[in-house]
Structures are given as structure tokens and as C-alpha cells.
Amino acid sequence: MSAADRGAPWTACPLPRSFYERPTLVVARALLGCVLVHETEDGESVAGMIVEVEAYRGPKDLAAHSAKGRRTARNEVMYGEAGHAYVYFTYGMHHCVNVVTRAPEIPEAVLIRAAVPLRGEARMRARRGLDAEAPAFRLARGPGNLCRAFGIDRSRNGADLTSSTLTIRPGRRFRAAEVRSSPRIGIDYAGAYVAKPWRFFAADERAVSG
């Protein structure tokens, strides 16, 4: 660790399991301001502050992959222990990363939709195919872009966020006045659950999508 890294959020201890075992809406809100860290192949790490999330609360939530109790090889991680990553592939070209919440057999999770780069910005740019001109807030804006910038793909599905090369650590705390909520994005098929205000984001952060 360099002297400059001492005390930096990406060097703090990962959030404990108990953080994720709480109600999913509580976890979603609490993740805002926390720091997602992915250690890369060469031992360096990329890190970013989470500024946008969405809660998915199956089996009742018709927008969740676990709606109506659906349980397949793809979403099996949602039924497991809290604090693990659920990573899936969609639209033939994008990955999305979630954190599993609550007790085993309760298939709920929080989708991480956007982050502000804190470390490894050059690596993120290279992965996104963006040059030095591109503003930093664009690097991890949107769930697909975030996964690409962080180098997260299905090989990280099931990763333990409390003790692996993919972790989430405490960061800054947003005050209530700095947080907004809204309906979730891209779930028009979810009937009565379309309008649930289960998307949370930091107001005035340009890295927020939508």
C-alpha cells in the first residue's frame, strides 16, 4: 500500500455479513456512498463510490428474476447467503452485478447501477474503450457500463463480498436530503410493481444514469 492510500476508503475492511442480512430496502439505501472494490489481475484495484442502486424483492416482486419463486441455475445465488455477488448476462452483451440480501431461501438482492471512480480510472477507461477526454462520471454510469469498467463478468458470480477480490467497503454517508428515490428502470413488464419507488440514487451526482 502506498502512503497516499493510507486511510483511503478502498483500504478499509469490507462491510460485514450482517450489513447485507437486513431488509433489502435498508441495504439498498445504505449502499449509497459505500465503495465497490475489485482487485484486478495484476494485484492493483479499481474502486468507485456507489451512487445508484435498485432493490429487487422476490418472490412477490414481479420485476425480480426470482419472481413467483422462479429458481434456476442462473439465479441460484439469490437464494443463498447474504453478502454474495449475483452477476448475470443480459441483452447478449451486458453484465449486471447485484448484492444478495437477507437470509438463505429469501431471494432478494440490490442491483448496483452506477459509481463514481475513485481509483484505477485509467484501467476503467481502457476497459470501456474511452480516451482521456471522456469525463470520469461516464465510466461507471449504468449497470452494464459499471461492470465493464470494473471488469466484472459471470466468473465473479457468487463471489463473497466480505472476503474476496470483489468487496464493498464503508465510504461516505449521504444525508437524507442528498438521496432520492424513483421507480426502477427497464421493468415495464412488472405489472403492479412497475411504480414501486425502489431505485435510490444520490442527487446531484452526474454518474447517476437515466
Partner DNA sequence: GGCCCGATCGTCT
Partner DNA sequence: GACGATCGGGCCA
Give least dist CB 102 to DNA, A: 13
Nearer to DNA, 9 or 187 (CB): 187
For the chain, the C-alpha Rg in angstroms (whole number) is 16
Element (H, E) at 26: helix 24-31
Nearer to DNA, 9 or 109 (CB): 109
Q: Residue 54 in contact with residue 113, Cβ under 8 Å?
A: yes
Contacts to DNA by CB under 7 A: 54, 56, 63-66, 70, 72-75, 78, 86, 89-94, 96, 98, 109, 111, 128, 142-146, 184-187, 189, 209
Q: Residue 97 in contact with residue 152, Cβ under 8 Å?
A: yes
| Beta-strand pair 179-182/199-202 | antiparallel
Nearer to DNA, 47 or 63 (CB): 63
Which residue, among 157, 199, 193, 184, has the nearest Cα to 58 in the 3D structure?
A: 193
Give least dist CB 143 to DNA, A: 5
Cell digits of residue 113 = 447501477
Give least dist CB 64 to DNA, A: 5
Nearer to DNA, 9 or 200 (CB): 200
Give least dist CB 24 to DNA, A: 11
